[in-house]
Every structure is written in structure tokens, then in C-alpha cells.
Structure 1
């Protein structure tokens, strides 16, 4: 005859452990999705995995999200909001404003390296993305760009910020051993290259920096800001129309 402890792990007990039907919400599901995605990667974020994490039947998640893609886009935008929502305040300088948003984006990507490539590539069509675009466009127009120029520069600036940020973040997403080998390559293999074949590398081997050097990101942003300022300064001045 089974003991009380034997009976406690039977089907009835497992059934009692199931979450109540109406206890799920979008916020609860997003919290579980973040836990899975940041620890195991987006490929592991399935409704089956969510159901297990939430002690709920996977089909109950469809009451809140149409499919995985909608869930991922909502997750990306909600994480942005948590990272720097409300922190995009104008400084009075268009250059400082573009520096501000670029640094927020970089820090956000480094905070969530497992999601970096999805964050870089996807258009979420959600509030935090709208706020980012509005903030950057405002700064670019204040720089003196025409509306047509501003939308092109928005794309170029955003692509550079996201590309550099996701590249840095992807290093953090590597396993520790692989990341260590890649970082050491700049200190070991590059210094061992023959000077007769690679004279410039040989002379500068001690100064070469890895992908994760934060100065690279700051330099790239300053180059873009200088290019915008130079572009505006070279625009022909339209003569004022004579007064009648």
C-alpha cells in the first residue's frame, strides 16, 4: 500500500499545481519570456516552454499573444522601456541628444546580449520605438538638416548605433572560453605576425584594440556628428528675397 508521500505526487496533485485559468496576463507572460530568452536564447522561447515556466497550458498564452513573433516584438519594446524609458530628455544641444540616445541604446544591448541581433533587426511598431524615432528626428532637424535629409540620416545613424551595439553584445553572448580566445587574439596572434609581410600591424600590434573597446563606439558617433555638421555647413546659402 502506498504512503501519503507517494500519493502526493500523483496526477491529482499535479493538476492542483496548474495555474488558475484567468490568472495569466501579458505582463506575467512577458516576465516569463524574458527569463527564458535571457538565459537560454530566443530559440528556446516557445509557447511550450512558457507553459512549463508558468505552470499553464501553452494554448492559454494565445489568449494574450497571437504568436511568438508578436510576443518577441512586445518583449523587445518593453525591455527598451525598462532600460531607458523616460530618460530621453532634450538637452538643448542636438549633438548631445544624439550622443544620449546612442549611449542608452548601447547600454541596453549590452544588458540583454542574447536578444541583441533581434533588437537590431526588428521593427517593433510600438511606443518605445516611436519615442526613439521622434527624439532622433527632432535632433537631426535641429542640426539644420532638411526633412528629406533628416530621414536618411536617421536611418544611417540608427543603423550604425545598432550595428556596433549588437556586435559588442554578441561577444558577451558567446561562451566564456570562445570570448576569451577572441579577445586574446589581438594580444597574442597579431603580435606574432611577420613584420615583413604585415609591417603596419607589426608596428602597431601593441596598440590594437578589441571589438569591445568602448572608445570605438564613442569615436564612431563623433564621426557621424561631425559629418552631419560638415554637411549642413557646406549647403549653399539661399539668398534672402528682396523686400517690396
Structure 2
């Protein structure tokens, strides 16, 4: 009885990326995909190599280490949030409002990166242009140099911190977030009026941590302070003659 030879099973080989086909832009696109999907902890050169079908060591030809990659990614994502180049509208208040809303939207779009976006200094083109744009707006608001650089930090810290808090809410597991939101709707309303009269009276109006109205109201308060300080300094300069 003749035995039949079993056909060989072909083993699919991993398709390797063509040599020299990697670039910083290609790597950054893959880094964004991984960061959104797996968070910053999952953004490793090994993960990038797998995503790009390339050897992990090839990433080092373009980025010295993960920190350089993260800073570059943050700056690129910031640029995306503005959609168009920063051009003054002629209204300092509207200009600062625009930058604040763009940063806020960017953090909510990438909640897993929000904390790093809030605390890191990228030292890259988008950040430089952002700072220049904001300083120009603050000068047009009437602030002198010392007040402008101080308010730049105050305004920037507020926008980043408020945006990061809201992004952190969005990053919570859906069950945890639902429980927290329900607390504002149910548990606060059940507090006794004798012990918590103000909460009891306003419980149906309390805003959740992630309510977008909170950011908008806070932004307008900051802008009101800048406007008032600018008016005071203009008056003082005029009086000094």
C-alpha cells in the first residue's frame, strides 16, 4: 500500500517594512494610535516596532528615547487641536478664548495623554507659537510686561489643570464615572435640610465635575480679571503721563 506524502504547510512570514521607509511622521502616527489604545504605559519602542512591522531598534534612528518621542507627540497633537495657524482676530479676549478652548478640546480628545500634556514643557514649535500668541494677546489687553508674564502662567495653568481634570473624568471606567455622576443626582438630594441647608436647596442644580459649563464659566472669570487688571494699568500709565 503506497503512502501519500502530506503536503507541506506553508508558514506565513511576517512582512517586514522596507528598509529606510520609516520617518518621524510615520512613527508619530503609530505612536498616537498606540497611546490612544493602550495609554502611555503601552507606548514602548517594542510596541511601535510591532505596529509598524519594523525592528524596534530602528525607532532609535529617529528618536533618542521614549521621552523625546512623547514630547514630540504632545506638540504634534497640540498643533492638530488648532486646525489652522494661530492668527489674531484683533480681539485679545477672543484670541485667549480660542486657545483655551482648543487646548481643552485636545485634552478631551486624548484623555490618556492629558496629564503629560498638562505638566510637560515640550520646547517645540507649537508650544513656542502658543506662548508668543498668548503674550501678544495679554499685552493688547493692557498688561505691562511683568503682569503679562505672570498672567501667562496663571492663564495657562488654569486651562491645563481644568482640562486635565475633565479629561481624567472621561478616562475613568464607565461604571465608576456613572456612579460618581449618580451621586450628584441622587445622594446629594437626600441630604437633610437641617444639616445641609444650602446643598438641600440647590441639589437639583449642582454641576458634575465634568460638566462643560464649569470650564466655560471659569474661563470667563479669568478673562474678566485680565481685562480689569489691564484697565487699571492703562489708567495708571495715563495718570503717570
Superposed pair shares fold, TM > 0.5: yes
Which residue number corresponds to residue 152 of structure 2? Answer: 154
Counterpart contact for 1:88–1:100, Cα < 8 Å: no
CA deviations on 1:27-48 (whole Å, 9 max, x unpaired) are 1111111001001100100001
CA distance in 1, matches of 2:20, 2:99: 39
CA distance in 1, matches of 2:232, 2:16: 67
Q: CA deviation at 1:103?
A: 0.8
Per the normalisation by structure 1, the TM-score is: 0.91
Q: CA deviation at 1:87?
A: 4.3
Give the gaps of 5 or more residues in structure 2.
none
Which residue number corresponds to residue 10 of structure 2? Answer: 7
Secondary structure of the 1:168 match is helix
Q: CA deviation at 1:166?
A: 1.0
Q: How many residues align?
A: 235
Which residue number corresponds to residue 168 of structure 2? Answer: 170
Change in Cα spacing, 1:55 to 1:2, as seen in structure 2 (3 Å) is farther
Change in Cα spacing, 1:184 to 1:2, as seen in structure 2 (3 Å) is farther
CA deviations on 1:169-227 (whole Å, 9 max, x unpaired) are 11111111111111111101111122222111111100001112211111111111111
Q: CA deviation at 1:69?
A: 0.3
Which residue number corresponds to residue 67 of structure 1? Answer: 65
CA deviations on 1:103-131 (whole Å, 9 max, x unpaired) are 11111111111111111111111111111
CA distance in 1, matches of 2:240, 2:103: 41
Which residue number corresponds to residue 203 of structure 1? Answer: 201
Residue range with higher mean Cα deviation, 190-199 or 22-31: 190-199
Q: CA deviation at 1:20?
A: 2.2
CA deviations on 1:6-51 (whole Å, 9 max, x unpaired) are 2223xxx23xx12223111111111111001001100100001111
CA distance in 1, matches of 2:188, 2:42: 37
Which residue number corresponds to residue 131 of structure 2? Answer: 133
Give the gaps of 5 or more residues in structure 1.
none
Which residue number corresponds to residue 144 of structure 1? Answer: 142
CA distance in 1, matches of 2:56, 2:189: 54
CA distance in 2, matches of 1:99, 1:73: 25
- 1:3-42 to 2 correspondence within 5 Å? 3-4=7-8, 6-9=9-12, 13-14=13-14, 17-42=15-40
Per the normalisation by structure 2, the TM-score is: 0.92
RMSD between superposed Cα atoms in Å: 1.5
